């Protein structure tokens, strides 16, 4: 609270206290059956005025400071709250107060308790109206068809505006997001939260060599996305309060902006889905675009190491798919033709099991 507000609160408390002290002397005297007259009455009124002014001057700035803190707290909460929650809460509050106002005349007729019951019903129905409509904002949007508060549009996703894509720290370090953006498959603005940048800087300054290299690679990927690619990049600097963990802040920001999170973090993927936030997982995309291999197909691979089981050899396709070759251990370091025997799809990706072709066909280098 600045000095100007403190001065205003001081003089306002001084004036109100003086007025209150001046006008409260006679009622208090009558209440105590005191006979006041002449100079005595004047002296007591002066004393009451001075005492009231002193109390007002002391209490006024404190009350102003408390009020200022309350206003600042309410402003911060409203600033962080999504616009649909604010609109639906305000509408619910108005509906609740209207219903309470209709009930008020009947409640005021009740002797003694009427006024208190009316005030209590107004507070209760106002709170219930705001709380219920904030939780039912999606149903309200579908009912009114006036503004979007969440969920899918009845006319389909094609009628919805392009949603911003929020980058996670892991997907930036991964680096494949830059190539995906270059292909043009990612629509809408790319949002990079300030707390993600801060985490990247912290990783890049780590004493651990591996972490430091990962952080610097992430910063290089961001620099490439901003300068070399034809995509809209936004840096979201506003603080997403209420959470300490980056994952929780990402989910909160996605709900605030109505966007989607791009990540390859399995845990973040599950947490976001539980809270109704759409996630674009780079690993799922990579698995989806891998070529389909059927048992009986033939391919040429380069065996690079032995497998876990006896006699097995391991090779990799260009997209990183692992091929386990039964009897391939003796061909380590060679390029051979193999025949696919089975394909296993796991959470980590696709594994292909094969065996060497017989008679052995060596691929021409």
Reported as a single tens digit per residue, the pLDDT across 166-176 is 998 888 998 88
Q: What band does 111 get if pLDDT is binned at 50, 70 and 90?
A: confident
Only one residue has tokens 């090779």, namely 315
Q: What band does 9 get if pLDDT is binned at 50, 70 and 90?
A: low
* Overall average pLDDT of the 201-211 stretch: 89
Q: What band does 353 get if pLDDT is binned at 50, 70 and 90?
A: very high
Share of the chain above pLDDT 70, in %: 70
For residue 304, the model assigns a pLDDT of 92
pLDDT top residue among 299 and 240: 299
Of the listed ranges 7-11, 177-181, 250-254, 257-261, the one predicted with least confidence? 7-11
| Calculated CA dihedral for residues 21, 24, 25, 27, nearest 10 degrees | 180
> What is the enclosing helix (H) or strand (E) of 341?
strand 335-346
* Overall average pLDDT of the 199-222 stretch: 89
For residue 100, the model assigns a pLDDT of 85
For residue 176, the model assigns a pLDDT of 87
Give bridge partners of residue 338 from the DSSP assignment: 299, 356
Say if residue 218 is exposed, middle or buried (CB neighbours under 10 Å; 0-12, 13-18, 19+).
Answer: buried
pLDDT top residue among 123 and 286: 123
CA 80 – CA 66 distance, rounded (Å):
21
Q: Where are the alpha helices (DSSP H) in the chain?
A: 3-31, 38-80, 83-108, 114-135, 137-144, 169-174, 176-183, 194-204, 209-227, 246-257, 266-274, 282-288
| Omega cis (within 30) before 359 | yes
Query: For the segment 282-341, what is each residue's pLDDT rounded down to a tens digit?
Result: 877 877 777 778 888 888 899 999 888 888 999 988 777 889 999 888 889 989 999 999
For residue 313, the model assigns a pLDDT of 93
CATH of 161-287, one of 3.40.50.1010, 3.40.1260.10, 3.30.1370.100, 2.40.10.410: 3.40.50.1010
Report in angstroms the alpha-carbon separations of 309 from 65, 230, 312, 349.
73, 48, 6, 20
Please give the CATH number for the structural domain made up of 298-356.
Answer: 2.40.50.140
- Every domain of the chain and the residues it spans: 3-132, 161-287, 298-356
pLDDT top residue among 215 and 160: 215
Nearest to residue 196, comparing CAs of 275, 156, 151, 252? 252
* Whether the Cβ atoms of residue 264 and residue 219 lie closer than 8 Å to each other: no
Question: How many other CB atoms sit within 10 Å of the CB of residue 169?
Answer: 25
Share of the chain above pLDDT 90, in %: 7
Res. 99: pLDDT tops 80? yes
pTM of the predicted model, to two decimals?
0.46
Average pLDDT for the chain: 77
Kindly state the tokens that stand for 35. Answer: 């006979």
Q: What band does 28 get if pLDDT is binned at 50, 70 and 90?
A: low
Q: Do domains 161-287 and 298-356 have the same CATH topology?
A: no
* Whether the Cβ atoms of residue 235 and residue 198 lie closer than 8 Å to each other: no
């Amino acid at each position: 609270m600045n000095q100007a507000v403190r001065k205003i609160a001081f003089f306002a408390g001084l004036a109100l206290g003086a007025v209150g002290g001046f006008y409260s002397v006679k009622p208090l005297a009558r209440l105590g059956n005191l006979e006041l007259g002449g100079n005595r009455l004047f002296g007591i009124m002066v004393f009451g005025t001075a005492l009231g002014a002193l109390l007002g001057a002391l209490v006024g700035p404190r009350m102003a400071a408390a009020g200022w803190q309350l206003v600042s707290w309410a402003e911060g909460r409203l600033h962080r709250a999504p616009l649909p929650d604010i609109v639906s809460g305000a509408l619910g509050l108005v509906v609740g107060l209207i219903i309470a106002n209709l009930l008020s005349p009947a409640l005021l007729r009740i002797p003694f308790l009427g006024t208190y019951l009316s005030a209590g019903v107004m507070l209760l129905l106002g709170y219930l109206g705001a709380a219920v409509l904030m939780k039912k904002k999606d149903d309200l949007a579908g009912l009114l068809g006036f503004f979007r508060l969440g969920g899918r549009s009845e006319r389909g996703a094609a009628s919805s505006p392009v949603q911003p894509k929020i980058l996670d720290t892991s997907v930036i370090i991964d680096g494949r997001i830059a190539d995906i953006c270059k292909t043009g498959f990612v629509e809408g603005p790319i949002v990079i939260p300030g707390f993600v940048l801060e985490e990247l800087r912290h990783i890049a300054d780590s004493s651990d060599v591996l972490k430091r290299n990962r952080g610097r690679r992430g910063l290089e990927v961001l620099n490439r996305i901003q300068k070399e690619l034809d995509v809209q990049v936004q840096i979201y600097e506003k603080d997403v309060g209420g959470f300490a963990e980056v994952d929780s802040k990402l989910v909160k920001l996605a709900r605030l902006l109505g966007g989607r999170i791009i990540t390859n973090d399995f845990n973040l993927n599950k947490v976001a889905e539980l809270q109704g936030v759409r996630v674009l997982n780079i690993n799922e995309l990579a698995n989806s675009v891998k070529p389909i291999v059927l048992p009986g197909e033939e391919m040429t691979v380069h065996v690079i190491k032995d497998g876990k089981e006896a006699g097995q050899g391991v090779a990799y396709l260009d997209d990183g798919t692992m091929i386990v070759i039964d009897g391939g251990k003796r061909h380590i370091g060679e390029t051979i033709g193999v025949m696919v025997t089975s394909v296993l799809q796991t959470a980590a990706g696709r594994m292909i099991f094969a065996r060497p072709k017989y008679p052995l066909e060596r691929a021409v280098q």
